Amino acid sequence: MVTVKKQSSLTALKRQEKRLGYVFASPWLIGLFVFGAFPMLASFYLSFTTYNMVGVPRFIGLTNYRILLFNDNLFWPSLWNTLYHVMLSVPLGLVVGIALALLLNTKIRGMGFYRTLFYLPNVVSVVALSLLWLWLFQPSFGIINQVLDPVYRLLNMEPLGWYRDARLSKLTLILMGLWTAGGSMIIYLAQMQDIPFELYEAASIDGANALQKTTRITLPLMTPSIFFNFIMGIIGGFQVFTIAYIMTGGGPSRSTYYFAYYLFDKMIHDNNMGSASAMAWILLLITLVLTMLALSLNRFVFYLGEQK
Amino acid sequence: MKKTWIVSLLLLMTLSLSACGWFGDDDETPDGRIEITFWHMSPVGSDAYPGTRRIIRAFNESQDKYFVRGTGLNFWDYWDRIGVAIAANNAPDIGFHTLDNVILRAQNDALYNLSALIEADLDAGRPTIEIEAFLENQLEFATYEGHLYALPFTATTRVLYYNLDAFAEVGLTEDDVPTTWSELYDVAKQLDKVSGSTIERIGFDPTYGQGTYHGYLWQNGLDFFDEDLEVTLDTQAHVDVLEWMINFNTGAGGFTRNQLNTFGEGNQMLGLNPFAAGRVGMIIETDGLYQTMKIHGSDINFGVAPIPVPDEDGIRINWGSGFSIEMYNNKDAERLEATWAFMKYLMDYDTQMELAEVNGWLMAHYPAMETFVQGNPILEALLEEVQFAVDKVYVPYAPNWHANDWQRYYDDALSERRTPAEVIAMARANYLQKQENFEAAN
């Protein structure tokens, strides 16, 4: 009897905790449904309609999708620009982030200052950063071309046009994006702190050098955070918009006209909410598929303490 | 202690949330009057805010039936906010928009029919808005199926600004201000100033400021679209105009593309209007440049004139692009009555004069502006050009035809990545595709 009473009392307590949990989580849950789920469902419906944002949406079936996929001269170029951005910015971002973390994981004086310094661009607004880089990459007067001037002279070549050159513009924006690699660096650093010192000690006894310790211990044990940043990089990469909007306006020759930029224009400038919604769902689908493919790489991730 | 913390936190949250929802710039209470909302572009802290607030208050104090609550939004925020508000059926009772696309909102029942309100006033013998005070070329854009659905609020115009100091430097006077394209070229070349291979000043460049391709087409009797909104961007004359724009300063114009690019980048780095910075001798700009130079105390001695026209059969015309004032259909008879009363107040002679003073805009009420500009030769010249200002047509399948849609092709021609003939053909194909897609979806 006593046992039963205890169990019942425990269940009541659990129920109360559960209720309280929901109460505390309710602001987030309300936010999720009102500002997340509802707009998503609304945009799914709108993707099957023609809607100019003034009148009433009218159902037109799959027309928006058909037009985008088969009769829109900017859909595929904008998708290609975005894929290009993802394919280059994600691996480059990983490499730079890891390299920074390895550099900033050493024990030298003022390390806290350096770590803060490299993380700092992440707390600056993207707009401000874009404007800053606009000046730095400015082809005629920018400091980057000024610094490279001796190289140009040596090679007898014209200064690079950076974001003004359709062949280099995407790459320029990717290079600019690396400025914020400090964000992933912090995650790598945190993971590095978790690697047991004994492993390095044992490796030292076995005669491993610094490179071997890095490639055989540090990097394998960092794979969970590398994997995390890889996934987040893919998702974030497909949403690239602000830097192109501020720095290049999608040009030159639409070379930096990314998918999200085109979606924005469809809605704001063409008053075509139906088509913009269809683009949003296509983007979600592409991101989802690529993320699922990326998740299949999970088997190469090594979790410390995991039994395999 | 715990309770104090919780109460303090709740209070803080409540205040924060209240602050989020409140954008009004007048804290008076309507004391039982019919309250309406008016969105304008003079946010708290802007130069025009005190004047706008004074104008709204004067209306509120002039009668005891209606109360207008003004909300000032930054120009750059305004368009997104009003667009979303209209889409969400949550528009203010009265606000500004762009005159060129009134038709979109009128045909979707988002606006009140002003012609009906004017007629009702006339039938009842009440004072109403004097439509004759507004220019026909502006009213046309506020009309849908023979009825007015908005009124022109401001009267933007584009003119040629010329730097008289630069003129004097090369021995020219105001009598030499060009009136045709060939005169423009001759004067511009005299004003060019080069040091070594570096351009110090360009006399004129058709692509600078508010020099637009469609504006130059109009001067030639050409356009992007015909009256049925079919694409007409397909003749050699279209190509010729674009070539004239692009080659004005290259080749025989005396400069290389590289020199021009470097000069253009220098202008961008300065962050100033190149005319205000003394880097171009003549430029096409809106009346807004006059206001900017006045506010910043520019010491450049300048004048304004009609944009020079093509030598043969050139048409005196410029791109208008003014604001409209619109009454949003909130389906509330009482608020409609209050809004109409406020609309009549805003659009009368005295208020239009005051609005011009407060905002530095040329307003749409022509007789009021005739008085307002008296004694100021620049404003007088600007107002004269308002009569030749025409807005761009609203094309449902390409609402942004003049900017976003055209810009990428224009950029390609400007940077010589493609020839003018190529970009014209590509732009035409793009408009046709947009039309086809629009028709398929609507």
pLDDT at B10: 55
- pLDDT tens by residue, B108-145: 999 999 999 999 999 999 999 999 999 999 999 999 99
Please state the rounded mean pLDDT for residues B351-372.
Answer: 95
Strand pairing partners for B152? B324
Q: Measured between CB atoms, does B404 come within 8 Å of chain A?
A: yes
Identify the band that residue B21 occupies on the pLDDT scale cut at 50, 70 and 90: very low
> Over 80: is that where the pLDDT of B27 sits?
no
- Give the start-to-end residue ranges of the domains of chain A: 71-300
pLDDT at B3: 58
**Nearest CA to A105 among A185, A24, A38?**
A185
CA dist B420 and B245 (Å) reads 10
**Nearest CA to B117 among B127, B102, B107?**
B127
User: For chain A, what percent of residues have pLDDT higher than 70?
Assistant: 95
pLDDT at B358: 93
Query: Which residues of chain A make contact with B396, given a CB cutoff of 8 A?
Result: 52
Please state the rounded mean pLDDT for residues B95-119.
Answer: 95
Query: Which residues of chain B make contact with A273, given a CB cutoff of 8 A?
Result: 87
> Over 50: is that where the pLDDT of B23 sits?
no
Query: Which residues of chain B make contact with A67, given a CB cutoff of 8 A?
Result: 437, 440-441
- pLDDT tens by residue, B238-271: 999 999 999 999 988 789 988 998 898 888 878 7
**Which A residues in the span 116-145 are in contact with B, Cβ-Cβ below 8 Å?**
135, 138-141
Tell me if the bond preceding A252 is cis, omega within 30° of 0: yes
CA atoms lying within 13 Å on the CB side of residue A71: 18
What is the ipTM metric for this complex?
A: 0.85
Q: Measured between CB atoms, does B430 come within 8 Å of chain A?
A: yes
Cβ A63–B441 below 8 Å, yes or no?
A: yes
Identify the band that residue B276 occupies on the pLDDT scale cut at 50, 70 and 90: very high
Q: Do the Cβ atoms of B441 and A76 come closer than 8 Å?
A: no
- pLDDT tens by residue, B196-246: 888 999 999 999 999 999 999 999 999 999 999 999 998 999 999 999 999
Residue of A nearest to B103 (CA): A54
Q: Which domains does chain B have, with CATH numbers?
A: 23-156+321-390 (3.40.190.10), 158-320+394-441 (3.40.190.10)
Taking chain B, what is the end-to-end CA distance rounded to the nearest angstrom? 63
Element (H, E) at B18: helix B2-21
Architecture of the domain made up of A71-300: Orthogonal Bundle (1.10)
Residue of A nearest to B412 (CA): A253
Cβ A270–B262 below 8 Å, yes or no?
A: no
Please state the rounded mean pLDDT for residues A217-230.
Answer: 92
pLDDT at B22: 43
Q: Do the Cβ atoms of B259 and B197 come closer than 8 Å?
A: yes
- pLDDT tens by residue, B406-431: 999 999 999 888 999 999 999 999 99
Identify the band that residue B321 occupies on the pLDDT scale cut at 50, 70 and 90: confident
- SS3 call for B37: strand
pLDDT at A111: 86
Cβ A269–B403 below 8 Å, yes or no?
A: yes
- pLDDT tens by residue, A32-52: 988 889 999 999 999 999 999
Cβ A54–B105 below 8 Å, yes or no?
A: yes
CA dist A306 and B287 (Å) reads 71
Cβ B87–A270 below 8 Å, yes or no?
A: no
Q: Under the phi-then-psi rule, with left for phi > 0, alpha for psi from -120 to 50, and beta for the rest, what region is B331? A: left
Which region among A8-12, A26-30, A194-198, A291-295 has the lowest average model confidence (pLDDT)? A8-12
Element (H, E) at B187: helix B181-191
Q: Measured between CB atoms, does B423 come within 8 Å of chain A?
A: no
Please state the rounded mean pLDDT for residues B322-350.
Answer: 95
pLDDT at B29: 65
Q: Measured between CB atoms, does B416 come within 8 Å of chain A?
A: no
Cβ B408–A275 below 8 Å, yes or no?
A: no
Cβ B105–A52 below 8 Å, yes or no?
A: no
Out of A72, A141, A249, closest to residue B269 by CB: A141
CA atoms lying within 13 Å on the CB side of residue A45: 8
Identify the band that residue A97 occupies on the pLDDT scale cut at 50, 70 and 90: very high
Q: Helices in chain A by DSSP H: which ranges?
A: 2-31, 38-46, 63-70, 75-103, 111-119, 126-136, 143-155, 169-177, 182-194, 197-205, 210-213, 219-237, 242-247, 259-268, 273-295
pLDDT at B19: 47
> Over 50: is that where the pLDDT of A1 sits?
no
pLDDT at A308: 53
User: Which of residues A73 and A299 earns the better pLDDT score?
Assistant: A73
pLDDT at B306: 98
Report chain B's mean pLDDT, rounded to a whole number. 92
Strand pairing partners for B39? B71, B95
Cβ A55–B108 below 8 Å, yes or no?
A: yes
Residue of B nearest to A50 (CA): B441
Q: Measured between CB atoms, does A254 come within 8 Å of chain B?
A: yes
Cβ B407–A249 below 8 Å, yes or no?
A: yes
| Paired tokens of A108 | 């030298």
Q: Do the Cβ atoms of B345 and B338 come closer than 8 Å?
A: no
pLDDT at B162: 98
